[in-house]
């Protein structure tokens, strides 16, 4: 087993392996196809890192490179200060939870959970006590004799987690572990995984395509698209200060509104017939120094306010086109010009109707500006 | 289990289907009935016209059975068949299963594994009689004519290709994720093969073994050509049982039934796997 920089006792058996994972300019090519390029990241101790992005963005490939299931074309991966490129998975001391659980169908739960320990020729009593302890933590101690096919989806998931934690690895890797579970259980398991990870304190990489999952679970989130890292940050940073238009559109639901606006002197943006907004001075200066003629205005649906008559100086007149009640809130599609539409989320349950006229106001602090050419944030 | 397709079919089509099934059954069963009927006749009765229904038209006798089952030559051939069959099956599985697994899982640099598999398959397309003479000469040079080892080597060359092609397909159905999970858990290539891939392909493995065994058990052409006394198998024995007086039909019938029995009995045991295994993983759940 590799030497971890710091070990800390949690329970009798569970030693806390804390390892920093460093990825330096990690690149993966399949022939001419670039799957991941120049991935740079250094984790903190026991950090929960979520890799998120649309399918084909390279997040799973990145995780598989850390696991040793995929070779690295270029770059370096260090686990606990040791370069693991070229090492087989066994030498890396990582554990992985797969999307389809990947339990061994011909072994019972005990067999599945003890597989790695038995391969490492641990004494029998030690194997048993460790498996029992992990099973108790996960609430599956009564299932040890069952075969995977006799278990429910949630139970299988727990066994897969159990198989991962029982070996006390330095790093957990989880590849969309919740995507095959129904919605209600998914929310429960999400909370359980977070609790488990906090309790064990093992550095964890978690792959998902679901931005809600990413926001709710990650200490830090890596947003990827087309093989490139778009932004790395805390959930709050990604939500409040997206680095580019992709991240802005990907994080948050419903998605951010993007309006291509003309820059008029004095920091005023216009679009269509009656969309007009005056920027606060710092943003206006930022645009001026960059000399942009056009700019993408981004604003989240939940940040747009409906203004009462005469209120708010930045008010934009609009007509409600479609009303989508969500229960606690309502999503409105509002026409603010001949072919300009914005999505607005209002904290009202009911009472909106299609055809209703209203005035929208956009608070200055919720405005995001993106360069049309580079798609990078230019708000400040 | 209720079959909706059957229940919703019209009377007429059910009748046709039943009729076809009956014809097929009779078609298959008649040779067996003939053989059984002849096995309990005396030699004279086998040639007498109108001796068809036992007890009514002829008196059944166990003479032929007694004769064959106490004939050391027949018993020796039965033993040869079993030994060669089991030996070939083991040899083919030991060599063919790892080969099939590597073709299922790895890509080779020079040749694609699909092409290699196709090459294996091509070995089965060749009419076996074409290689009869070369094989005879080869075995003769090695001093393996009329030996069990010679037959095992001979049969293995035919069946290895079959085993590799079939087992490759079966191994390809084993979930890659499951094997990767084993790899992450620390299993080596051989450990994945033994502890994961083989147990998960057991159905297919049993069926393959059975088919290989049945092939060896039934093979007559090569067995007759390269054996004479010592290593002759049942089919060779049956072919050779024409004496100078012609064929002893009652003994031939007993020989046939004795030769057929082991694979039939085995098939009862492997039936459970046959249906699943023969679909080559198409319906694996």
pLDDT digits (tens, 9 = 90+) for B164-182: 988 998 999 888 999 999 9
Is position A378 within any domain? no
Q: Return the percentage of chain B with pLDDT > 70, whole number.
A: 94
> Domain ends where: A183, A216, A249?
A249
Is the four-CA dihedral B58, B61, B65, B71 of positive or negative sign? negative
pLDDT for A277: 86
Q: How far B187 CA sits from the closest chain A CA (Å)?
A: 7
- Domain containing A140: what range? 21-249
Do A99 and A182 lie in one domain? The reply is yes
Q: Which stretches of B127-248 are DSSP H helices?
A: 132-141, 148-172, 176-184, 189-192, 198-200, 202-218, 221-226, 234-240
Contacts with B187 from chain A: Cβ below 8 Å: 90, 115, 119
Question: Who among A67, A104, A105 is closest to B184 (CB)?
Answer: A67
Is position A1 within any domain? no
Do A45 and A176 lie in one domain? The reply is yes
- In chain A, the number of structural domains is 2
Query: Which residue of chain A is at minimal alpha-carbon distance from B196?
Result: A104
Is position A182 within any domain? yes
Q: How far B192 CA sits from the closest chain A CA (Å)?
A: 11
Is position A359 within any domain? yes
Mean pLDDT is lowest, of A333-347, B18-32, B109-123, B171-185, for: B109-123
- Judged against a pLDDT cut of 90, whether residue B70 lies above it is answered with no
Contacts with B197 from chain A: Cβ below 8 Å: none
Q: Is B174 on the interface with A (CB under 8 A)?
A: no
Mean pLDDT is lowest, of A30-34, A42-46, A224-228, A270-274, for: A270-274
- Judged against a pLDDT cut of 60, whether residue A209 lies above it is answered with yes
pLDDT for B261: 87
pLDDT digits (tens, 9 = 90+) for B229-281: 888 888 888 887 766 567 778 888 888 888 888 888 888 888 877 766 555 44
Please report the ipTM that was assigned to this predicted complex: 0.82
> Domain ends where: A216, A249, A282?
A249
Is position A10 within any domain? no
| CATH code: domain of residue A294 | 2.40.50.140
Interface with chain A: mutation pick from B105, B185, B194, highest number of A CBs within 10 Å: B185
Q: Which residues of A touch B (CB under 8 A)?
A: 67-69, 88-90, 94-96, 98-100, 102-106, 115-116, 119-120, 163, 167
Give chain A's length.
Answer: 380
For residues A267, A273, A275, A281, the Cα torsion angle rounded to the nearest 10 degrees is 10
Contact A260/A372 with Cβ under 8 angstroms?
A: yes
Q: Within a 13 Å sphere around the CA of B210, how many CA atoms are in the beta-carbon half?
A: 22
- Judged against a pLDDT cut of 60, whether residue A1 lies above it is answered with no
Task: Extract the tokens encoding B103.
Answer: 């073709």
Q: How far A224 CA sits from the closest chain B CA (Å)?
A: 23
Cβ burial, residue A315 (10 Å; 0-12/13-18/19+): buried
Give the Cα separation of A46 and A21 in Å (integer): 10
Of residues A258 and A285, the one with the higher pLDDT is A258
Question: For A57-81, what is the mean pLDDT?
Answer: 93
User: Across chain B, what does the average pLDDT equal?
Assistant: 86
3-state secondary structure B197-228: HHHHCHHHHHHHHHHHHHHHHHCCHHHHHHCC
pLDDT for A314: 65
Is position A375 within any domain? no
Q: Kindly determine whether residue B188 and residue A120, on different chains, have CB atoms separated by under 8 Å.
A: no
Report the DSSP pairing between strands A330-335 and A294-299: unpaired
Give the Cα separation of A123 and A129 in Å (integer): 10
Question: For A109-120, what is the mean pLDDT?
Answer: 94
Query: Which residue of chain B is at minimal alpha-carbon distance from A95?
Result: B184
Q: Return the percentage of chain A with pLDDT > 90, whole number.
A: 58
Question: For B10-16, what is the mean pLDDT?
Answer: 88
Is position A122 within any domain? yes
Q: How far A61 CA sits from the closest chain B CA (Å)?
A: 14
pLDDT for B277: 56
pLDDT for A6: 41
pLDDT for B284: 38
| CATH code: domain of residue A231 | 3.40.50.300
pLDDT for A27: 94
pLDDT band at A311 (very low <50, low <70, confident <90, very high): low
Q: What is the DSSP string of A236-283?
A: HHHHHS-SBHHHHHHSSSSPPEEEEEEEETTTEEEETTTEEEEPPHHH
Do A275 and A241 lie in one domain? The reply is no
> Domain ends where: A218, A249, A280?
A249
pLDDT band at B187 (very low <50, low <70, confident <90, very high): very high
Of residues B276 and A83, the one with the higher pLDDT is A83
- Judged against a pLDDT cut of 60, whether residue A221 lies above it is answered with yes
- Judged against a pLDDT cut of 70, whether residue B282 lies above it is answered with no
- Judged against a pLDDT cut of 80, whether residue A32 lies above it is answered with yes
Q: B244, B263, B234: which is closest to B68 by C-alpha?
A: B234
Do A237 and A273 lie in one domain? The reply is no
- Judged against a pLDDT cut of 90, whether residue A245 lies above it is answered with yes
Report the DSSP pairing between strands A220-225 and A228-233: antiparallel
pLDDT band at B193 (very low <50, low <70, confident <90, very high): very high
Contacts with B185 from chain A: Cβ below 8 Å: 95, 115-116, 119, 163, 167
Instruction: Give this prediction's pTM.
Output: 0.81
Is position A365 within any domain? yes
- Cα angle B212, B205, A153; round to 5: 160
pLDDT digits (tens, 9 = 90+) for A94-114: 999 998 889 999 999 999 999
Beta bridge pairs of residue A270: A262, A276
Give the Cα separation of B115 and A215 in Å (integer): 48
Q: Is B115 on the interface with A (CB under 8 A)?
A: no
């Amino acid at each position: 087993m590799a030497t971890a920089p710091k070990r800390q006792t949690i329970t009798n058996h569970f030693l806390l392996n804390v390892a920093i994972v460093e990825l330096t300019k990690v690149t993966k090519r399949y022939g001419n196809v670039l799957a991941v390029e120049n991935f740079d990241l250094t984790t903190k101790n026991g950090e929960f890192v979520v890799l998120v992005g649309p399918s084909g963005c390279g997040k799973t490939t990145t995780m598989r490179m850390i696991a040793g299931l995929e070779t690295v074309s270029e770059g370096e991966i260090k686990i606990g200060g040791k370069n693991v490129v070229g090492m087989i998975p066994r030498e890396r001391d990582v554990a992985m939870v797969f999307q389809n659980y990947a339990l061994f169908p011909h072994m019972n739960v005990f067999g599945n959970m003890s597989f790695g320990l038995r391969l490492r020729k641990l004494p029998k009593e030690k194997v048993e006590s460790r498996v029992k302890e992990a099973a108790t933590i996960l609430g599956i101690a009564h299932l040890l004799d069952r075969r995977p096919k006799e278990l429910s989806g949630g139970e299988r998931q727990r066994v897969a987690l159990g198989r991962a934690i029982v070996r006390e690895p330095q790093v957990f890797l989880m590849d969309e572990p919740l995507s095959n579970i129904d919605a209600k259980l998914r929310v429960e398991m999400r909370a359980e995984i977070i609790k488990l990870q906090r309790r064990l304190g093992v550095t964890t990489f978690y792959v998902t395509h679901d931005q809600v999952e990413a926001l709710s679970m990650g200490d830090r989130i890596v947003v990827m698209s087309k093989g490139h890292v778009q932004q790395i940050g805390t959930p709050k940073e990604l939500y409040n200060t997206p680095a580019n238009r992709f991240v802005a559109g990907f994080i948050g639901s419903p998605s951010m509104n993007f309006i291509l606006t003309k820059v008029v002197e004095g920091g005023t943006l216009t679009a269509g017939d009656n969309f007009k907004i005056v920027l606060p001075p710092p943003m206006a200066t930022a645009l001026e120094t960059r000399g942009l003629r056009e700019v993408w205005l981004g604003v989240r649906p939940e940040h747009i306010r409906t203004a009462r008559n005469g209120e708010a100086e930045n008010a934009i007149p609009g007509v409600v086109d479609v009303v989508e009640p969500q229960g606690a809130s309502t999503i409105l599609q509002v026409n603010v010009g001949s072919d300009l539409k914005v999505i607005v989320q209002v904290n009202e349950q009911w009472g909106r109707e299609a055809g209703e006229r209203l005035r929208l106001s956009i608070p200055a602090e919720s405005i995001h500006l993106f360069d049309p050419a580079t798609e990078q944030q230019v708000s400040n | 289990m209720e079959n909706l397709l059957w229940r919703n079919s019209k009377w007429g089509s059910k009748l046709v289907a039943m009729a076809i099934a009956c014809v097929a059954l009779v078609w298959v069963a008649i040779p067996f009935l003939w053989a059984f009927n002849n096995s309990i006749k005396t030699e004279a009765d086998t040639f007498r016209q109108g001796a068809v229904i036992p007890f009514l038209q002829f008196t059944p006798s166990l003479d032929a059975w007694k004769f064959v089952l106490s004939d050391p030559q027949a018993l020796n051939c039965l033993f040869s068949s079993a030994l060669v069959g089991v030996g070939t099956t083991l040899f083919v599985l030991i060599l063919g299963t790892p080969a099939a697994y590597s073709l299922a899982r790895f890509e080779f640099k020079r040749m694609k594994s699909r092409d290699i598999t196709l090459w294996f398959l091509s070995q089965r397309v060749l009419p076996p009689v074409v290689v009869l003479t070369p094989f005879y000469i080869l075995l003769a040079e090695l001093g393996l004519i009329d030996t069990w080892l010679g037959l095992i080597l001979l049969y293995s060359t035919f069946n290895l290709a079959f085993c590799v092609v079939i087992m490759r397909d079966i191994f390809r159905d084993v979930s890659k994720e499951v094997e990767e999970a084993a790899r992450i858990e620390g299993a080596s290539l051989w450990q994945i093969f033994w502890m994961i891939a083989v147990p998960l392909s057991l159905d297919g493995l049993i069926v393959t073994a059975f088919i290989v065994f049945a092939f060896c058990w039934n093979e007559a052409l090569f067995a007759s050509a390269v054996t004479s006394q010592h290593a002759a198998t049942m089919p060779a024995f049956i072919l050779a049982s024409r004496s100078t007086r012609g064929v002893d039909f009652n003994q031939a019938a007993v020989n046939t039934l004795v030769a057929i029995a082991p694979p039939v009995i085995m098939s009862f045991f492997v039936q459970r796997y046959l249906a699943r295994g023969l679909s080559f993983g198409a319906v694996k759940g």
